[in-house]
Structure 1
Amino acid sequence: MQAAIGIDIGGTKTAIGLVASDGAVLATTSLPTDLTISPYDMVDRIAEAANRLMAEKELLPADLQGIGIGAPGPLNTKLGQIAEPPNLRAWWGFPVVDAFKRHYDARIVLENDATAAALAEKQAGAAKDADHFVYVTISTGIGAGIYSHGRLLTGSTGNAGDIGHMVVDPAGGDCPCGQRGCFEHIASGTAIAREASVMLGRPVTTKEAFELALSGRDAAMDQLVQRVFRYIGIGCVTLINTFDPELIVIGGGVSQVGAPLFDAVSGYIREHALNPSGRRTPLVPAALHQDAGLIGAAALVQTHY
Structure 2
Amino acid sequence: MNYAIGIDIGGTKTAIGLIDPTGHVLAKTALPTDHTVSPHVMVDRMAAAIKQMMAEHQVTEADILGIGVGAPGPLNTQKGEITAPPNLKGWWNFPIVESLKRHFDYKVAFENDATAAALAEKWLGAAKDAEHFVFITISTGIGAGIFSHGKLLTGVTGNAGDVGHFVIDPAAGTCVCGQEGCWEYVASGTAIARQATDILGREVTSKEVFALAAEGDQEMKALVDKVFRYIGVGCVTLINTLDPEKLVIGGGVSQIGEPLFAAVRDYVSKHALNPSGRNTPIVPAALLQDAGLIGAAALIHVDYK
Question: Fold conserved (TM > 0.5)?
Answer: yes
Deviation at 1:285, TM superposition (A): 0.5
Question: How big is each residue's C-alpha offset from its partner over 1:276-297, in whole Å with a ceiling of 9 and x where there is no partner?
Answer: 1111101111110121111111
TM-score under structure 1 length normalisation: 0.99
**Aligned partners of 2:132, 2:176: CA distance in 1, in Å?**
32
Deviation at 1:99, TM superposition (A): 0.2
Map residues 1-305 of structure 1 onto 2, 5 A cutoff: 1-216=1-216, 218-305=217-304
Contact kept in structure 1, 2:12 and 2:32, CA below 8 Å: yes
Give the 3-state SS of the residue equivalent to 1:78 in structure 2.
coil
**Aligned partners of 1:52, 1:229: CA distance in 2, in Å?**
44
Deviation at 1:25, TM superposition (A): 1.3
**Aligned partners of 1:23, 1:130: CA distance in 2, in Å?**
18
Deviation at 1:303, TM superposition (A): 1.6
Calculate the aligned-residue CA RMSD, in Å.
0.6
TM-score under structure 2 length normalisation: 0.99
**Aligned partners of 1:53, 1:290: CA distance in 2, in Å?**
19
Contact kept in structure 1, 2:232 and 2:268, CA below 8 Å: yes
What percent of counterpart residues are identical? 68
Question: How big is each residue's C-alpha offset from its partner over 1:141-195, in whole Å with a ceiling of 9 and x where there is no partner?
Answer: 0000000011100000000000011101101100111100000000000000011
Give the 3-state SS of the residue equivalent to 2:161 in structure 1.
coil
The one-letter code sitting in structure 2 at the alignment partner of 1:227 is K
**Aligned partners of 2:249, 2:102: CA distance in 1, in Å?**
36
Deviation at 1:30, TM superposition (A): 0.5
**Aligned partners of 1:167, 1:213: CA distance in 2, in Å?**
26
Give the 3-state SS of the residue equivalent to 2:134 in structure 1.
strand
Give the 3-state SS of the residue equivalent to 2:221 in structure 1.
helix
Give the 3-state SS of the residue equivalent to 2:244 in structure 1.
coil
**Aligned partners of 2:189, 2:233: CA distance in 1, in Å?**
17
Segment of structure 1 superposing worse, 104-113 or 20-29: 20-29
**Aligned partners of 2:83, 2:289: CA distance in 1, in Å?**
25
Deviation at 1:302, TM superposition (A): 1.6
Question: How big is each residue's C-alpha offset from its partner over 1:102-142, in whole Å with a ceiling of 9 and x where there is no partner?
Answer: 11101001100000000011111111111110000000000
**Aligned partners of 1:85, 1:269: CA distance in 2, in Å?**
31
Structure 2: state its 5+ residue gaps.
Answer: none
Segment of structure 1 superposing worse, 224-233 or 290-299: 290-299
Question: How big is each residue's C-alpha offset from its partner over 1:218-262, in whole Å with a ceiling of 9 and x where there is no partner?
Answer: 111111110000000000000011111111000000000001100
Contact kept in structure 1, 2:123 and 2:302, CA below 8 Å: no
Question: How big is each residue's C-alpha offset from its partner over 1:1-45, in whole Å with a ceiling of 9 and x where there is no partner?
Answer: 110000000000111111111211111110100010000000011
**Aligned partners of 2:215, 2:55: CA distance in 1, in Å?**
49
Give the 3-state SS of the residue equivalent to 2:15 in structure 1.
strand
**Aligned partners of 1:238, 1:111: CA distance in 2, in Å?**
24
**Aligned partners of 1:52, 1:169: CA distance in 2, in Å?**
49
**Aligned partners of 1:53, 1:265: CA distance in 2, in Å?**
42
**Aligned partners of 2:2, 2:300: CA distance in 1, in Å?**
12
